[in-house]
Chain A
């Protein structure tokens, strides 16, 4: 293995990346993904457009409406004398999210203990938002009801909850670190697969077959540029997360950095494996996207916690490196245990082995193409 050969070959790769403007993709795509998804995935609900139809106009019904108006979760409009049909039409046209109908005779019914009925209609088109809104409404009405019950209820159990790691339950804190795990899985894999498949498709791979460049030199020259270019992304993504999305960073930067480098290596290894079985660049791209984006979203612990998984998805999650990486990443951003936790140490080791294993298998298999 000669260092001069690797250097020359790498120089060629860099020049080609710059000439074909691929270099822009290397830096634009990760940033674009983290910004679009970071802003795009909003599960928390604030300012739900609420229409209260008050048919009672009593002190109690106005009190109840007041409860909604005082909450930042609702943008409340109060109307009277609107028929249910008209009000529902407003939900149907997607102008209103929540419709609350206070019946005529709420106060009277309450006095006579007749349990008057308050009807609530919620736009269910976005299911997660719908259940959140349902719970908000339940909470507000429950609190309003408690304040008018004269005698204190029997056996009242309350819950005092402490939100660990993400006190304000911000979506950014929940999503953005996971997006780093997604980006650094997809982007290096695509780039490393392309660098090799491009030579196959254009036929220039025969230069390598016929030249005295050894397989190790060839692979190193392909891997190192990808590794170096994406190492910069580790820092860029970190800055977006902490500066733009204001995600707190509680762990050690060194751990973040070293695990990201190992993770990039595993991703490059996956790219190598793809390049072994494909001949056309377009197929390489699509195949890499299919095998990386799905685990990056579904089995990464970003949208669904690993502890809530069962059966196949749990097994699936353990196959890809993203679960191990994301555990460490969420730890460095939000928890801050670092290497004190045996689980993080184990996962870091697994990442290192993963990188070694995929790179080794990938480079072994490339040899066979020579015949």
Chain B
């Protein structure tokens, strides 16, 4: 046990001595998560609007005055349809509204009128939402007597803030990536520095060495998780915690071992840190992709849905979402724990065997 502790301590000291690594870990657990949370905004906001008004004002201006921040920029007047369409083709304007010269007349005479809208729909999501905003504005303006009352509740994330979700998903991806890279790096650095043979000669059980090395990196990752959850998730984004924080840390701990297991495998097959980086990225991307971090799993192709059962990150993300947002009770989390622990032990055992052969 004493040997184990001193081996762990050695690795942690070595980690803090390589300032480059410390900087990368700190960056990933703070700024990187912050940028992902604050920067990636997919809800349509600040949409650029242009309009051509052939009616001579009045009604059209009243409608336009309802287009305002944060959804829309101030509508820009264009003198002709050609100007408007040129601006859309140059992608300077996303929504073009045309008030036909008959617009006001039709509305007065037939109680019915039509607005032509040109939409740059290259950004499909934003243009779809822009159209919905416009539709709602026009409906409101028409003051139709709605026969039913519609009460819409958004569960779990009532304000539909992308940032909280993105920040959390990014943190989980960072944990995965660093868990793999850091673990692989402690072994490969010994290979690169030529201290591998010294390690082989030490009168310590190789199993203990492997365990101590992975455990030390898991500790470092867990330190990063605490920093990221405390400073970025709670501090910067006010992520709610509806479940038990302890459960989240426990799940993260198991998950860190899972990614360390992948790291052991990477370490066994690579000779240099460069190969570690390449391999980790190649392994990580499908893992993250299949986890449901970007697209809900049931929206994927059926084949990919089955494959995603093999991604430990899937259980980790669903579990963390349930803990933070849905507030699922600890007893109901067992399936996520089971998924992470099961896949984790398989991966860890495989990596352990693989690197163990080198001793």
Contact = CB atoms under 8 A, between A and B. Distances in A.
B124 A44 contact: yes
Contacts of A148: 147
B299 A42 contact: yes
A131 interface: yes
Interface in B81-95: 88-94
B20 to A, nearest CB: 5
Interface of A: 25, 28-29, 32-33, 36-37, 39-47, 49, 88, 91-92, 94, 106, 110, 113, 115-132, 134-135, 137-139, 141-142, 145-146, 148-149, 152-167, 169-171, 173-174, 194, 198, 280-283, 285-286, 290, 294, 297-298, 301, 303-310, 313, 327, 330, 334-335, 337, 341, 343
Contact of A308 (B94, B111, B154, B278): B94
8 contacts: A92-B326, A117-B150, A154-B142, A157-B115, A160-B117, A171-B124, A174-B122, A280-B273
A91 B146 CA distance: 28
Contact of A294 (B35, B43, B112, B144): B35
B212 to A, nearest CB: 23
Interface in B107-162: 107, 111-129, 131-132, 134-136, 138-139, 141-158, 160-162
Nearest to A285: B277
Contacts of B124: 43-44, 166, 169-171, 173-174
B42 A32 contact: no
B156 A33 contact: no
B160 A132 contact: no
A327 B91 contact: yes
B128 to A, nearest CB: 6
B162 to A, nearest CB: 5
Contacts of B277: 281-282, 285-286
Contacts of A171: 124-125
Given A116-B149, A156-B111, A298-B40, A131 B89 contact: no
Interface residues of B, number: 98
B111 A174 contact: no
B154 A116 contact: no
B227 interface: no
Contact of A165 (B47, B121, B154): B121
A345 B194 CA distance: 55
B348 interface: no
A157 B107 contact: yes
B39 interface: yes
A161 B94 contact: no
Interface string B264-306: 0000000011101110011001100100001110111100100
Chain B CB within 10 Å, residue with most, of A91, A127, A139, A169: A127
Interface in B57-84: 63, 73
A25 B278 CA distance: 8
A106 B149 CA distance: 11
A28 B282 contact: yes
B127 A157 contact: no
Nearest to B32: A290
B123 A174 contact: yes
Contacts of A40: 289, 294-295
A309 B46 CA distance: 7
Contacts of B134: 159
A45 to B, nearest CB: 7
A280 B125 contact: no
Contacts of A134: 152, 154
B144 A135 contact: no
B35 to A, nearest CB: 6
